[in-house]
Structure 1
Amino acid sequence: MSDKISVMIVDDNGLLRVGLKDIISDEGDMTTVAEAATGEEAVGLYSECHPDVVTMDYRMPDLDGLEASKRILSQFPDAKILFLSTYEGEEDIWNAWQTGVAGYLSKADAYEHIIEAIREAAEGRSYFPAAIARKLEARKGQASLTPRELEVLKLIVAGNSNKEIMGELDLSASTVRVHVSNVLEKLGVLDRTQAAIAAVKRGIVHL
């Protein structure tokens, strides 16, 4: 029986998977046991090989990393999942953290941290680099949008007027005004333009 840390790499970018596998293979205490290019594939493979640690991409076809992680953790609560993502907004990090993942790395500097992160996760510890941790702490102090407010915000980002939002969501004018007001207040902004910018910057809405 091997004492090496077993790792499953999940990413739709084949070159990135190769790069991570090469880095992992250079370490004497860990090995790659599986690779997946989609979230659905990741869920199925996890149940087959039960790796010690999973490196998970956020954005993938058919099932994103967030939903794949939720499914894995619902079946295997002790799963250790590390997110590697180009998404670095507060909301992206917050959503991943709330699922119970072991860590979150930006792909921009993932290669600098990945080996240490894998070892920490395998030992049952979390790994959030300083820049990521600061964003997570900042998000913890903010109010969350309701599902309806999120729908309204997405339409604001898409450039819809209140009248258009009324028609899209089948709401009254007064109800839309209340939702827009609540969105502005929760985001800490003064107008719709600032709300759209904040939504994209924080990772609440992806273009």
Structure 2
Amino acid sequence: MEISKTTQQPPSRIRVLIADDHVTVREGLTAIIGRQPDMVVIAEADNGRDCVERWLECRPDVALLDLRMPALDGVGAIEEIRREDSSARLIILTTFDTDNDISRAIMAGAKGYMLKDARREELLDCIRGVHAGETRIPPSLVAKLAAGVSGEALTSRELEVLTLLARGHSNKDISARLNIGETTVKSHLRSIFSKLQVLSRTEAITVASRRGLIRL
């Protein structure tokens, strides 16, 4: 009597796309992920535009994207990918941790946000969690995000004033550049100080830079 045997199929591996403009980062991530029995890197991209194209070609299970990339940044790439597939599982892996960066990424549709100095086990756990449908953001970044969104948002005009202020322009210069009166500039500054909960120009610039509202 012949006894039939059931062949157990090995579990499918998590197919990962890596997008980063630094080749050493891509090689390092590929090596780390390649050593995992449940993961495989199927594609790489060195800019945001290429990332979108590679994603459309390969349809990976999870994509790791740098925040700052040429041609199209990580947030822009996420937005384009999610227009094609709203269920895409995308993780930002970056060195930037301002509440503005985190907020932009999450609003665009990122399901994970990790810093490049995170431990290898944390990154791998994030990939597995996001693949399983979870959202993964480290507690420290959640706290920073909460602190940033708790305050009132600056208007586009206030951001313009703040940017010029950070570049060393006086009220008179700002007035001339934006074609508004100096009294209006002072009014904007009072509003900026109130929203950022600061008392001086220097403190406003420091807080705004830390939150990613301006780049010095």
TM range (shorter): over 0.9
Q: TM-score, normalised by structure 2?
A: 0.90
1:85-164 paired onto structure 2 within 5 Å:
85-109=94-118, 111-164=120-173
Q: Which amino acid aligns with 2:92?
A: F
- Root-mean-square deviation (CA, aligned residues, Å) is 1.7
Aligned equivalent of 2:54, options 24, 45, 51: 45
| CA offset digits 1:122-158 (Å, max 9, x no partner) | 1110001121121122223122112222122111111
**Whole-angstrom CA distance in 2 between matches of 1:178 and 1:50:** 50
**In the TM superposition, what is the alpha-carbon distance from 1:86 to its structure 2 partner?**
0.9
Corresponding position of 2:76: 67
Q: Distance in 2 between matches of 1:67 and 1:154?
A: 22
Equivalenced residues, count:
207
Q: Which runs of 4+ in 1 moved over 4 A?
A: none
Amino acid at match of 2:123: I
Unmatched tracts of structure 2, length 5 or more? 1-8
Q: Which has the larger radius of gyration?
A: 2
TM score, norm. by length of structure 1: 0.93
Q: Secondary structure at the match of 1:159?
A: coil
Bigger drift between 76-85 and 138-147 goes to 138-147
* Cα displacement (A) at 1:53: 0.9
Q: Is the 8 A contact 2:100 2:212 kept in 1?
A: yes
Partner AA of 2:125 in structure 1: E
Secondary structure of 1:77's aligned partner: coil
The CA deviation at 1:43 is: 1.4
Tell me, in whole angstroms, the C-alpha distance in 1 between the residues paired with 2:57 and 2:179. Answer: 46
Give the Å deviation of 1:195.
Answer: 0.6
Q: CA deviation at 1:16?
A: 0.5
Which residue of 42, 53, 59 corresponds with 1:33? 42
The CA deviation at 1:87 is 0.7
Matching of residues 185-196 of structure 1 within 5 Å: 185-196=194-205
> How far off its partner does 1:78 sit?
1.0
The corresponding residue for 1:23 is 32
CA distance in 1, matches of 2:167, 2:79: 28
Contact 1:84 1:110 in 2 (8 A): no
Verify the 8 A CA contact 1:58 1:85 in the aligned structure 2.
yes
Partner of 2:65: 56
Bigger shift: residues 164-173 or 189-198: 164-173
Query: Deviation digits for residues 100-143 of structure 1, max 9, x if unmatched?
Result: 21011111215341110111111110001121121122223122
Show the counterpart of 1:201.
210
SS in 2 for 1:33: strand
Distance 1:41 1:110, change over 3 A: farther
